[in-house]
């Protein structure tokens, strides 16, 4: 079996190392720069959460050109959202007629509205796929939905630090179970992941998003770890209000959230003082994944005609922070805010 990891960062390296070490497949990487050089020299490297050991494995091949790697059985996309359109344009050499594509990414994926009836429409979300570039490049029939429940970081190029969690949820975008997803779930389980074959992966995606849609950008703006965000009653009330708006959207698109914001905050508090991925990006000077995590939720709300004043404020503040610090585009292509000038 041939597997390619696109984006061998914190999540891509985590998945790639586990799969390669399991010895069930030839695991290659499409990477660039210092990460590519590190993979070529040292292979896959994953530090255990307790620091007691480093898991290593051989990289079958590593290149910054998809043409060098050829058609794969499975392609795992683990890049940041802002990079996906460019990645999708160059993926064709990796895709055979039966290749599965597993986007292990944050937020609302580009395919989320595909085939969904009702007022939300099936048109790609402008906030995550302006012009439908990704939809045209990656056939929906080859996509498997994915939710990652793990905390990792990349302290240096080519090295991943596992912090907590090893859950992967996979499922058909249209819902239900299938033999191909079951086979993928078994492969991931043998590689050491706690894998769930979901019959409603859209709901799983929305539920995770509902939990981190506020915590990620608030931490990024303030520089506060999650324990400090949760400890501020005014900030927490704002986050809860935005979560209620997202829950209302979810109930309209077949992704109801039964949990209360208070109960979700209690779950998050158990993780302690940690920096979520968007804060890690700010600290590293990387572009923030604001569109898939916040703007997409807001866009769906707009399509449904639902008011989202707290999500609007969250998006506006995070967008302004990102632009001031050079971490978010000054003029996003296609997506124009209606509640405030872009």
Instruction: List, by residue number, the catalytic residues.
Output: 208
* Cα 230-264-49 angle, rounded to 5 deg: 75
Q: For the chain, what's the residue count?
A: 342
Residue keyed to tokens 């769906």: 300
Q: 3-state DSSP helix/strand/coil percent for the chain, to nearest 5?
A: 45, 20, 35
117 vs 100: CA distance, rounded Å: 25
Q: Could you tell me the two tokens for 257?
A: 């959230």
- Residues 6 or more apart whose CB falls under 8 angstroms from that of 275 comprise 219, 225, 226, 283
CA–CA dist 338, 76 (Å, integer): 35
What does DSSP assign to residue 271?
A: T
Q: Residue 269's CB: how many other CB atoms inside 10 A?
A: 12
Angstrom distance (rounded) from CA 45 to CA 161: 9
CA 173, CA 199: separation in Å to the nearest integer? 9
d(CA 194, CA 177): 18
């Amino acid at each position: 079996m041939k597997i390619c990891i696109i984006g061998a960062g914190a999540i891509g390296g985590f998945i790639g190392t586990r799969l390669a070490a399991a010895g069930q497949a030839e695991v290659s990487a499409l990477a660039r720069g210092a990460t590519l050089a590190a993979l070529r020299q040292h292979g896959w490297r994953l530090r255990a959460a307790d620091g007691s050991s480093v898991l290593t494995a051989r990289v079958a091949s590593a290149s910054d050109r998809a043409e060098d790697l050829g058609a794969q059985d499975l392609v795992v996309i683990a890049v940041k959202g802002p990079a996906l359109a460019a990645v999708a344009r160059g993926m064709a050499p990796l895709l055979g007629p039966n290749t599965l594509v597993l986007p292990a990414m944050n937020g609302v994926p580009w395919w989320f509205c595909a085939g969904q009836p009702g007022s939300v429409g099936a048109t790609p979300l402008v906030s995550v796929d302006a012009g439908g570039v990704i939809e045209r490049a990656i056939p929906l029939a080859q996509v498997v939905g994915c939710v990652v429940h793990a905390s990792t970081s990349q302290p240096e190029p080519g090295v991943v630090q596992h912090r907590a969690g090893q859950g992967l949820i996979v499922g058909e975008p249209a819902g239900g179970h299938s033999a191909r997803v079951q086979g993928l779930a078994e492969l991931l389980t043998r590689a050491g992941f706690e894998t769930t074959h979901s019959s409603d992966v859209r709901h799983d995606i929305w539920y995770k998003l509902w939990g981190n849609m506020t915590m990620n950008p608030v931490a990024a703006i303030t520089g506060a770890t999650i324990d400090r965000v949760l400890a501020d009653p005014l900030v927490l009330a704002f986050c809860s209000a935005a979560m209620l708006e997202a829950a209302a959207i979810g109930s309209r698109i077949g992704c109801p959230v039964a949990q209360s914001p208070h109960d979700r905050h209690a779950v998050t508090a158990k993780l302690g003082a940690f920096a979520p991925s968007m804060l890690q990006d700010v600290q590293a000077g990387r572009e923030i994944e604001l569109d898939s995590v916040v703007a997409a939720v807001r866009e769906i709300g707009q399509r449904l005609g639902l008011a989202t004043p707290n999500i609007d404020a969250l998006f506006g503040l995070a967008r302004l922070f990102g632009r001031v610090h050079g971490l978010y585009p000054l003029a996003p292509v296609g997506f124009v805010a209606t509640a405030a000038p872009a």
